[in-house]
Structure 1
Amino acid sequence: MESVENMILPEAVQKWVVDSINSEATIESISQLKGGISSLVCIVKLKVNDEINDYVVRLHFAEGWAENNPDLVIHEAENLRFTRLKNLPTPEIITIEETGTRFGSYASIMSKLEGKVVLEPDDMDGWLSGLAQALVQIHEVEASQFPRPYYTYQDLNAFEIPSWVSLTEEWGKVLSIIKGPRPIFRECFIHRDYHPSNVLWEGNSVSGIVDWINACIGPAGIDVGHCRLNLAQLYGVKEADLFLSYYQQYAGPNFVYDPYWDLISLVDILFWEPEVYPGWTDLGFKGLTAQLIKERLEYYMVSLINRF
């Protein structure tokens, strides 16, 4: 009888995993990884003879998420092949199911990286420094021929002040900035979803960076801004600013900071009223409320306006 643990993945998916790796393999266990909300991610332990190896299986459901389509797994597979060639600490893609017909989902199998997500570091300064160093490493990759360009998730010209805000005058300034001219920037390879829940650690060092679906060519400030936005919500503006200082230190003259990209990163997530990101609570982070997130977002917004 199949164990409850193994029932996390449908039998058809389990068979696909075994057939893709080694038809003689047996599944020892399946455990769900926490922290994501747009897909089901599991570790599958496969035994061949007396050897057990871990694989990561990511399942994107064909229904229920408007953005989920074959491009998701195709893009991530292409991006991971690229990042491995560039010696970035990313998983190795093994195979994908991009048709959605085999078991009703799009899926990928990749290698498992060592390490874990850390959201409550013992040494905040050292942790922020490591986050910044890892991001600089991504942005230093030569990727002039990379095929996918950056774009904003929001239609900036149509964006209006959210109904939940309290600082309407300051948000008016945000509107005038984001609907104004875009600053000149140097294109580089960007992760496009760089934040603490996508970074793995072993001890005090970054051991891996995951979730590469949205990688593209664009402004480094978007990656910096997206990470700062997450830090501001998790901890506050102080930590977001310290991360920026470390990033500037490690990037050197190749990076020219412009708070415009921080504002774009902020606006890009405001499709609905702010709430606590479920991935954080799944990973055991406590103490956040929707009201606190709103307050921190507005405080962060004011700190950005004051930089202009």
Structure 2
Amino acid sequence: MTDHDGTGGVRPLTLAWVGRHLDIGERVVKTEALHGGITAEMRRVTVGRRDGGTRVLVLRTFVDAAHAALLTGTGVPAPGLVAVDHRAVHCEYPSLLMTHLAGRTVLEDAGVEARVPLLARQLVAIHAVRSAPAERPPQYVTLTTADTVVTPKGADAATWAAAVDVIRGPAPPYEGRFLHRDFHPGNVLFDMPPPGPAAFRITGTVDWAAASWGPADLDVAHCCTNLALLHGPAWGLRFAEVYEEAGGVPAATSSERLYWHVRDALAFSEEVQQVSLPWRGAGRTELTARILGERLDAYVTSLMDAPG
């Protein structure tokens, strides 16, 4: 979803910085706000070329780091880095200029059964990325604690208390992997040519600002929770299975896997309203904070009831 505003939506210093990274004879002719993100302001930047044609870049502000460059040559489609101003030396705010990828995010229920295996295979490919220790992104961070969890209204208090107890202990041991750290349908672009879902393909994964190093289960769990809220709890449970079917390697024991899945699900208890807004803006108007709270409760319950 976009808003067209000429170039007036980009602050002057930032616009000048973008211009310095264009080819000779090129100029910014239009910018469009891209909606759906939570942690950054995103804009599509249309650049006029000397031959009369155009090309498209993407400008991201409030970005901490750019790790997508580590994916070059790996087969994982991601935006290419054009320029970055980490410390806002040239721009009003920290900014990242990158190449534009074709495709669009798909959040509707229709076709989810065809998209889930594609998402799983993409995540397996991300976790297969190898890098030297000195080049790795920073260690993963989790902010949710047993004391910050917000039990949804009407949820079963005993079930949620048991879920909170799961994350009171130390994190299980794990083998480190390259993590996207915010992998979910809203950060994956699809090309959807006719005749329908069978022809879906992923054209790119975006928003690598939180990329880190840690347990693969953390990425899997995050996508599971998002799918559970978008499409119902069963899809959250199903994604974990499909990830393993696609060649992914989760934690060795069910208790270790449960820790990561519960930790991610409980993290959403603090931000249901925040998650609801971009999804509703993207067309899923029925996904109110109340509905997401109910789905989160059902998903946490299903995790705690799962055999293991």
TM range (shorter): 0.7 to 0.9
Matched AA of 1:245: E
Q: 1:274 to 1:254 in 2, by over 3 A?
A: closer
Contact 2:272 2:292 in 1 (8 A): no
Residue 122 of structure 1, CA deviation: 3.8
Residue 253 of structure 1, CA deviation: 5.3
1:66 is matched with which residue? none
- 1:128 aligned to 2:137? no
Contact 2:146 2:165 in 1 (8 A): no
Q: 1:234 to 1:121 in 2, by over 3 A?
A: closer
Matched AA of 2:218: I
Q: 1:299 to 1:163 in 2, by over 3 A?
A: closer
SS of the residue 1:5 aligns to = coil
Contact 1:116 1:201 in 2 (8 A): yes
Q: Which moved more, 1:188-197 or 1:51-60?
A: 51-60
Q: Which moved more, 1:140-149 or 1:204-213?
A: 140-149
Map 1:226-237; keep pairs closer than 5 Å: 226-237=222-233
1:153 is matched with which residue? 143
Q: Which moved more, 1:180-189 or 1:228-237?
A: 180-189
> Which runs of structure 1 show a deviation greater than 6 angstroms over 4 or more consecutive aligned residues?
none
Map 1:286-301; keep pairs closer than 5 Å: 286-301=285-300
SS of the residue 1:277 aligns to = helix
Q: Deviation digits for residues 196-242 of structure 1, max 9, x if unmatched?
A: 00000112011100000111111111111111111111111112122
Q: 1:255 to 1:247 in 2, by over 3 A?
A: farther
Of 84, 99, 102, 2:90 maps to: 102
2:155 is matched with which residue? 166
SS of the residue 1:285 aligns to = coil
Residue 12 of structure 1, CA deviation: 2.8
Distance 1:292 1:112 in 2: 34
- 1:32 aligned to 2:33? yes
1:247 is matched with which residue? 243
TM-score (norm 2): 0.87
1:177 is matched with which residue? 166
1:69 is matched with which residue? none
2:211 is matched with which residue? 215
1:270 is matched with which residue? 269
Q: 1:254 to 1:164 in 2, by over 3 A?
A: closer
Q: Deviation digits for residues 214-273 of structure 1, max 9, x if unmatched?
A: 111111111111111111111111121222221110125566461211111112233356
Matched AA of 2:28: I
2:189 is matched with which residue? 200
Contact 1:164 1:273 in 2 (8 A): no
Q: 1:160 to 1:288 in 2, by over 3 A?
A: closer
1:64 is matched with which residue? none
Distance 1:92 1:24 in 2: 22
Q: Deviation digits for residues 280-304 of structure 1, max 9, x if unmatched?
A: 1222222111111111111000111
Matched AA of 1:26: R
Q: Deviation digits for residues 106-128 of structure 1, max 9, x if unmatched?
A: 11100001111011264221111
Q: 1:236 to 1:22 in 2, by over 3 A?
A: same
Distance 1:161 1:58 in 2: 31
Q: Which moved more, 1:7-16 or 1:297-306?
A: 7-16
Q: 1:94 to 1:161 in 2, by over 3 A?
A: closer
Q: 1:161 to 1:173 in 2, by over 3 A?
A: farther
Q: Which moved more, 1:173-182 or 1:296-305?
A: 173-182
Contact 1:276 1:289 in 2 (8 A): no
1:10 is matched with which residue? 11
Q: Which moved more, 1:102-111 or 1:295-304?
A: 102-111
SS of the residue 2:244 aligns to = helix
Number of equivalenced pairs: 291
Matched AA of 1:150: Y
Alignment RMSD (CA, Å): 2.2
Contact 1:276 1:288 in 2 (8 A): no
Residue 279 of structure 1, CA deviation: 1.8
Q: What is the percent sequence identity of the aligned residues?
A: 26
Contact 2:276 2:289 in 1 (8 A): no
TM-score (norm 1): 0.87
Gaps of 5+ in 2: 193-199
